[in-house]
Amino acid sequence: MSDADAPVLSVRDLTVDFPAADGGAALRAVEEISFDLAAGGALGIVGESGSGKSTTALALLGLHRRSGARVSGRIMLGDDDVNALDDESVRRLRGRRIAMIFQDPLSALDPYYRIGDQISEVYRTHTGAGRRAAWARAVEVLDRVGIPDAARRARARPHEFSGGMRQRALIAMALACEPEILVADEPTSALDVTVQAQILDLIDELRADTGMALLLVTHDLGVVSRSVERVLVMQNGRAVEEGPVSEVLRSPAEPYTRALLAAVPRIDAPRPARREPGEPLLTVAGLTREFRRPGGGLRHDVMRAVDDVSLDIRRGETLGVVGESGSGKTTLARMIVRLLEPTAGSIVFAGQDITRLPDRRLRPIRRDLQMVFQDPVSSLNPRRTVGDSIADPLRVQGTGDREALRTARELMERVGLDAARHDRYPHEFSGGQRQRMGIARALSLRPKLLVCDEPVSALDVSTQAQILELLSGLQEEYELTIMFVSHDLAVVRQVSDRVAVMHNGELVELAEAGELYDAPQHEYTRTLLAAVPVLA
């Protein structure tokens, strides 16, 4: 290894323990991790939640100090061991030689100060520059990261920026002192896919211009494949595999990496063709929903969350609905199951117009229209046992108590839960298990149409794959028609027969899945597809 290739960062046997609050056994979050980051290079750390990837990233800046965590091993930043330096020396490294950006750019900035001031503060801390010079530097870096009209926008406060702009501002803060290394902890996970693409492009560009090295922490293998040269796969605090991205992703050596890769839904792999779908089960025509925008001007500012959407869902098919945040996909889903009243338009289900049906007459139809929710925490009543939660819909519809509980236990077994735990409370289960409960509850009435609103977005990829598998099996068994709403184009492709794309409340394109992904007609669909990072 020649001198020019000497790593800027060299980590050896990094171990992080979090002592238990009540004096019990310490939790080992990271165990003996070692890696090198070459000057100007890019290393990705991937893993599911709990793998210790973020803990590792924070340790690189010495951010576990004062938290009570025990950090051991060497973290060599050039000739300095971050783990051995005194607090003051570490403080002087941070932001100047190694800078970090975070997942949620809104909460990562102080809401009370102007963005320019926050960047200036960092710059002045390390350079001792005057107010004016620091402000000029702030404007310069904001301009560099593509904030339009930076001199003016530097005076804005974080809440006046969009999500993508905030992440740009945070990147600008990182650039201010021209660090050797940028540590990015899930920098795009909170962003829409098109914005994500822009931010990742920006990071690429800055790396090329400044020569700074990148350490990218993410759960998303697509992002890794697109943005870094080397990758380190972590599981339960340990390094599973490390190597060049192309090798690790194409021919993984370790079973865990293989399993992880197999679980990732592929945007370029269509689902196997299924039997012909039947006639429309649900038809939506001109469906519109308006909301009053809060904090608007004097006039009632009306926002059309869903704007004149017409589509049908055919018996036995899965209709995927994709869109970014604010596209109106969730509003549409909630109107279809009559949780939200439409402002205009009609919903015809199994030949009956249910748009304005009063609650009492809607009740028998409710049996056929069920929903699986995104958030497995808020979708189960924390004060009711799992068995009760699953049996409740049956009880409401008039089934006897004993019979309802018996069915609930059967359903628990069917969705892969231990029926013996029917008298436990939801918080005793994992996220994936709770999502199974949500599915069991939705199935208890044997519905015809199941609307799934981002059912796997809160889950890790491997759990996500299991839930998708479960849904697909249940679809066959229960002859379900499914409307599958998601922001994730790959997941949607994997499960859907036909796909609808929504943008700003409008339905921009609806086609057979293969057709839509391979030959998108609408401009927006093309943009969306181009933005998705594809696994190499």
Closest to another protein by CB, 89 vs 521, is 89
Do 304 and 468 contact (CB within 8 A), yes or no? no
Closest to another protein by CB, 253 vs 339, is 339
Interface with another protein includes 397 (CB under 8 A)?
Answer: yes
CA 302, CA 230: separation in Å to the nearest integer? 49
Interface with another protein includes 337 (CB under 8 A)?
Answer: yes
CA 185, CA 58: separation in Å to the nearest integer? 9
Interface with another protein includes 445 (CB under 8 A)?
Answer: yes
Among residues 286, 296, 400, 473, the one that binds another protein under rule CB under 8 A: 296
Site for another protein in 227-266 (CB under 8 A): none
Residues 6 or more apart in contact with residue 262 via CB below 8 angstroms: 465
Interface with another protein includes 369 (CB under 8 A)?
Answer: yes
Interface with another protein includes 382 (CB under 8 A)?
Answer: yes
**Which span (43-51, 294-302, 316-324, 462-470) binds another protein, by CB under 8 A?**
294-302
Beta bridge partners of 378: none
Tokens 């323990």 belong to residue? 17
Fill in the amino acid letter for 79.
Answer: D
Interface with another protein includes 295 (CB under 8 A)?
Answer: yes
Closest to another protein by CB, 278 vs 400, is 400
For residue 152, what is the DSSP state?
A: H
**Which span (6-14, 24-32, 91-99, 227-235) binds another protein, by CB under 8 A?**
91-99
Q: What tokens appear for 213 in the block? A: 């090295």
**Which span (144-152, 252-260, 290-298, 463-471) binds another protein, by CB under 8 A?**
290-298
Do 494 and 266 contact (CB within 8 A), yes or no? yes
Interior/surface letters 442-472, b for 16+ CB within 10 angstroms, e for the rest: bbbbebbbbbbbbbbebbbbebbbbbbebbb
Strand arrangement, sheet containing 27-38: 27-38, 7-18, 70-77, 80-81
Among residues 128, 298, 358, 402, the one that binds another protein under rule CB under 8 A: 298
Least distance (Å) between residue 425 CB and another protein: 5
Q: What tokens appear for 142 in the block? A: 């904001």
CA 332, CA 321: separation in Å to the nearest integer? 10
Residues 6 or more apart in contact with residue 394 via CB below 8 angstroms: 403, 404, 407, 408, 444, 445
**Which span (27-35, 199-207, 215-223, 379-387) binds another protein, by CB under 8 A?**
379-387
Print the binding letters for residues 157-196 with another protein: x by CB under 8 A, - otherwise. x-x----------x--x-----------------------
Helix boundaries (H) for 264-344: 329-336
Extended beta strands in 165-324, E state: 181-185, 213-218, 230-235, 238-244, 280-292, 302-314, 318-322
What H or E segment, with its residue span, contains residue 234?
strand 230-235
Site for another protein in 410-439 (CB under 8 A): 425, 427, 438
Among residues 7, 43, 102, 319, the one that binds another protein under rule CB under 8 A: 102
Interface with another protein includes 377 (CB under 8 A)?
Answer: yes
Beta bridge partners of 27: 18
Interface with another protein includes 383 (CB under 8 A)?
Answer: yes
Q: How many residues bind another protein (CB under 8 A)?
A: 66
Interface with another protein includes 332 (CB under 8 A)?
Answer: no
Tokens 């028998």 belong to residue? 364
**Which span (190-198, 267-275, 361-369, 467-475) binds another protein, by CB under 8 A?**
361-369
Instruction: Compute the C-alpha angle 376/372/318, nearest 5°.
Output: 135
Fill in the amino acid letter for 212.
Answer: M
Alpha-carbon dihedral sign for residues 48, 162, 195, 266: positive
Interface with another protein includes 389 (CB under 8 A)?
Answer: yes
**Which span (279-287, 341-349, 355-363, 525-533) binds another protein, by CB under 8 A?**
355-363
Least distance (Å) between residue 465 CB and another protein: 23
Q: How many CB atoms lie within 10 A of CB 268?
A: 11
Interface with another protein includes 126 (CB under 8 A)?
Answer: yes
232: helix, strand or coil: strand
Interface with another protein includes 455 (CB under 8 A)?
Answer: no
Interface with another protein includes 457 (CB under 8 A)?
Answer: no
Closest to another protein by CB, 272 vs 297, is 297
Binding residues (CB under 8 A) for another protein: these are 61, 63, 91-96, 99-100, 102, 104, 107-113, 121-122, 125-126, 157, 159, 170, 173, 294-298, 334, 337, 339, 359, 362-364, 366-367, 369-371, 373-375, 377-384, 389, 392-393, 396-397, 425, 427, 438, 441-442, 445
